[in-house]
């Protein structure tokens, strides 16, 4: 009996060590090229107490995470940032702040996010304090019960979401001086809650294109302030 307990405890310790990978980075300097690959469960890149902070111009930051219950908390400050983030797994959480503190700037942002899995949550704030001159964010989601909250303030804001899942909730906010481009394509049967889309746009015109389908109730809540907008909404079951 004692041997059995010792073996069980040893196996549990091994599992804990294998599945928990933590990365904390504070980078200051230009021309950063950072690639991170994590495989397993309960991985962290930064956390609520110590974000990963990247401060510099002309940065490239790519992430590949495979597994469940992984977390990313990142703060980016820099004139030009390009990122490709790929996630495979369930119950993952991503929180990105770009120019969300007075000392930081986030001028030109290009970010592509691809995720496969269920119950994943994304919260992005770009240009909250200092406007970004050009921001392009693209989400491609496959899986159920995805939640996206993306807020962009800048001269030009472009947000694209393509989702194929049973239930999703997308909330986008864009505030720009010259033009906004928001494209949302949400497909899938939907659960009893259906698909929900909330869009808040303020600025000098732009395009909003929403395509939504599912067998349950779908909702689009649109609030637009400004002139010369081209809006196209298509819903089907």
HSE-CB of 56 using CA atoms within 13 angstroms: 16
pLDDT of residue 105: 65
pLDDT of residue 168: 67
pLDDT of residue 103: 52
Whether the per-residue pLDDT at 90 is higher than 90: the answer is yes
Q: How many residues does the chain have?
A: 237
Residue range 172-190: mean pLDDT, rounded: 72
Confidence band, pLDDT 50/70/90 cuts, at residue 106:
confident
SS3 letters across the chain: CHHHHHHHHHHHHHHHHHHCCEECCEEECCCCEEEEEEECCCCEECCCCCCEEEECCCEEEEEEEECCCCEEEEEEEEEEEEEEEEEECCCCEEEEEECCCCCCCEEEEEEEEEEECCCCEEEEEECCCCCEEEEEEEEEEECCCEEEEEEEEEEEEEEEEEEECCCEEEEEEEEEEEEEEEEEEEECCCCCCCCEEEEEEEECCEEEEEEEECCCCCEEEEEEECCCEEEEEEEEC
Residue range 89-105: mean pLDDT, rounded: 77
């Amino acid at each position: 009996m004692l041997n059995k307990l010792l073996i069980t405890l040893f196996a549990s310790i091994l599992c804990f060590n294998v599945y928990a990978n933590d990365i904390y980075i504070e980078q200051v300097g230009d021309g950063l090229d950072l690639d991170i690959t994590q495989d397993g469960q309960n991985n962290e890149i930064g956390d609520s107490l110590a974000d990963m902070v990247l401060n510099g111009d002309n940065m490239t930051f790519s992430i590949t995470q495979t597994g469940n219950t992984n977390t990313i908390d990142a703060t980016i400050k820099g004139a030009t940032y390009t990122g490709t983030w790929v996630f495979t797994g369930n119950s993952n959480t991503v929180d990105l702040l770009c120019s969300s503190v007075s000392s930081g700037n986030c001028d030109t942002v290009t970010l592509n996010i691809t995720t496969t899995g269920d119950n994943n949550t994304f919260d992005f704030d770009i240009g909250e304090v200092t406007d970004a001159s050009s921001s392009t964010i693209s989400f491609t989601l496959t899986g159920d019960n995805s939640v996206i909250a993306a807020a962009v303030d800048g001269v030009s804001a472009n947000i694209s979401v393509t989702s194929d899942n049973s239930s999703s909730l997308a909330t986008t906010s864009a505030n720009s001086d010259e033009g906004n481009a928001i494209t949302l394509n949400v497909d899938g049967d939907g659960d009893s809650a259906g698909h929900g889309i909330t869009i808040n746009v303020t600025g000098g015109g732009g395009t909003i294109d929403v395509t939504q389908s599912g067998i349950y109730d779908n909702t689009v809540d649109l609030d637009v302030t400004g002139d010369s907008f081209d809006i196209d909404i298509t819903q089907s079951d």
